[in-house]
Structure 1
């Protein structure tokens, strides 16, 4: 059993590539926002924000392809079952292709339903529709990339995941700048850059997985890939993670929709803060992903002591990182806002609400870590129940708070949402240790 120092080093070895690769993801969003933020109107920022929000639903609604794959692969690895390690990826890729193709086929009704629910000015909606119509073609590649990344995390091959993510996001940024600033393709160029980058990442990710696949394991048969017991377990976990993720995304959609009701300037300011939240969230996810891999391995070995070591070590690292990010936001937030947008009214509005986003990392880190713990344990039911409860509480609390305090009330309700997520998951934690040895 590893001592505390060894475990801390192992956590850091797993976490730093994920932190680094994750931070490239919101960097792409920052570039998207910055490119349109220097155009001549605030509605361009809002259009990208609402369009991105819609794809958060489409892609992260299927986030179980990444999260569920990590948990099952980590447990198969801990149990020493190489064939199941490969089969877990095969099942996830099949689902990714099916769901991604369905997104394209159903793009018209998805678009109409989404924009019937979302509220924004006519200019914002037109920009968002343009963005959606192009980016939806990336869906099959994006969802398969989720599966590949989940497999790499489950195998604790975080550096390989870093390579794939760096390639996707580097291609995205380079094409984004070229299409918009050189070719003057506007919001269409932003969307097209994302499509090309996702397919490039899929090709590289497939090559990486081929290289890292266990050589002593045989290729699973079709019967093993479609094993009813395995599929039933996967679909049960995936269903619960899907509902949990849908609740998370609904909270984000509610936040942005309430922002839109407060006017284009407030919407643009909160969209700028979305870049802050993405950087913090993706950075903290590095330790959450480390928790997924280590907790899954501990569950596979049926070891209570390893489970506790994994939870404690990853949470310590995440707490330190949360404080660091909060400090950066507090002292450098104004400069970051000015870099993202040159629209003075948006800058002024953002500065008023900057303390809320500076507090975000410290408020969010606990729920992020517990999410990682429960994903690694493939305990989707507890995550689902917790998130649905928190979403309902958020909406109930936010409506009167927004009516009374405007955007300050909206951020107060969202902060409450983050804290209650952590408290409810912590209450479920003892269930994870039941039935484990030592």
Structure 2
């Protein structure tokens, strides 16, 4: 039985965060839909390759969001307002430095990663242009990660929703203006994202300044120079960085192998992956609720409430996966036609469609467990399970399934999600049985 009070608390965060999370794949679907109806599939392939590079580079630093949420939630649960404020400024300083560093070294970094993806000769210059425009958003994107994570840790879901909606809805509007109105094609998609990211960070900082006034003021700026205060922050974020790097290696490897099978397969895989992300981001509303609420419960050392929150959020994640599976199973032609009118891309997407139908339920546990493990501070376990899933499952399955072509690639990805779900499910059982959730080890 679901506890009504726990359900209400979960939904108070999950619903705003679901709307916020849905705006992210919606943006990708709009990009795909607009570019997929242009005269050439080169523009769609360029954004698929270019956005994979930017996703890799930016989401390598997504620990700024995840680490901020878990640490802040636990500090909030322990009624430590000073630590909450300290975590915000620590993360913002690090975000600014990392963003500026990425801009300084943009040319060799973009060239290296695009070379690994190896798009066709026609697509390469378009993808390079896209990346070199988007990368200037790095400081804004990283600082937005920090503010969103911090606000979520304080259970400010509506404020977080406002920030994410402003970024993504502005991006969608600018997509139509730049791509269709100004006929800038893939370059227009990059400029739209760049503009929206800076609008978002200014909005986020303004909203955060309001919340800061309600916290403990026993904190001074010179404490940012006390490097011993960063120990917990860097330990957690180191684990999350490695875990995210492995995840993004998998996604980039997947894109690269699709690109080697032609632009039509690359574009079709992009459509299917966007539709999988639509499910994942819908579930993310409940995973984010788990991050914030379980973190607070661990900070307050309320183990029973923690477990109720875990079961509740996972139940609703299962409902979402079940609904998505039904839609994808029943409406393949209708859904594909929304994103492309190109015959070669449509045909390829339908050939590989059964893999998409299977993935939401296979990935359910790992998608939801991410929120629980971040909130509880079990980030080292997240890192280790990702190592096992990538090195012992994904790559070996891909290697032996290469004769199957793109089907083998999708089999490897399904195996990757299945292994993560099994490993994280087993760890959850083990930690629960041994009463280890309130231990401070990461």
TM-score range (shorter-chain normalised) is over 0.9
Partner of 2:396: 396
Partner of 1:17: 16
For residues 38-437 of structure 1, the aligned pairs below 5 Å read 38-213=37-212, 215-218=214-217, 220-392=219-391, 393-403=393-403, 405-429=404-428, 430-431=430-431, 433-434=435-436, 436=438
Asked if structure 2 preserves the Cα contact closer than 8 Å seen for 1:284 and 1:318, the reply is yes
- Using the size of structure 2 for normalisation, the TM-score is 0.95
Asked if structure 2 preserves the Cα contact closer than 8 Å seen for 1:82 and 1:214, the reply is no
SS in structure 1 of the partner of residue 372 of structure 2: helix
Asked if structure 2 preserves the Cα contact closer than 8 Å seen for 1:51 and 1:132, the reply is yes
Aligned equivalents of 1:66, 1:114: Cα separation in 2: 23
Cα deviation code 1:357-393 (max 9, x no counterpart): 1222111111011111111122221111110111112
- How far residue 434 of structure 1 moved from its aligned partner, in angstroms, is 1.9
- Answer with 170-179 or 211-220: which moved more: 211-220
Aligned equivalents of 2:208, 2:372: Cα separation in 1: 24
- How far residue 60 of structure 1 moved from its aligned partner, in angstroms, is 0.7
Aligned equivalents of 1:89, 1:296: Cα separation in 2: 16
Structure-2 change in CA distance of 1:302 and 1:353 (3 Å)? same
- How far residue 223 of structure 1 moved from its aligned partner, in angstroms, is 4.2
Aligned equivalents of 2:228, 2:284: Cα separation in 1: 31
- Using the size of structure 1 for normalisation, the TM-score is 0.96
Cα deviation code 1:33-79 (max 9, x no counterpart): 12211122222211111111111111110000000000011001000
- How far residue 216 of structure 1 moved from its aligned partner, in angstroms, is 4.5
Asked if structure 1 preserves the Cα contact closer than 8 Å seen for 2:14 and 2:289, the reply is yes
Unmatched runs of 5 consecutive residues or more in structure 1: none
Unmatched runs of 5 consecutive residues or more in structure 2: none
Count of paired positions: 435
Aligned equivalents of 1:87, 1:336: Cα separation in 2: 46
Aligned equivalents of 1:395, 1:436: Cα separation in 2: 34
- Answer with 41-50 or 365-374: which moved more: 41-50
Aligned equivalents of 2:51, 2:370: Cα separation in 1: 23
- How far residue 137 of structure 1 moved from its aligned partner, in angstroms, is 0.8
SS in structure 2 of the partner of residue 123 of structure 1: coil
Aligned equivalents of 1:402, 1:278: Cα separation in 2: 24
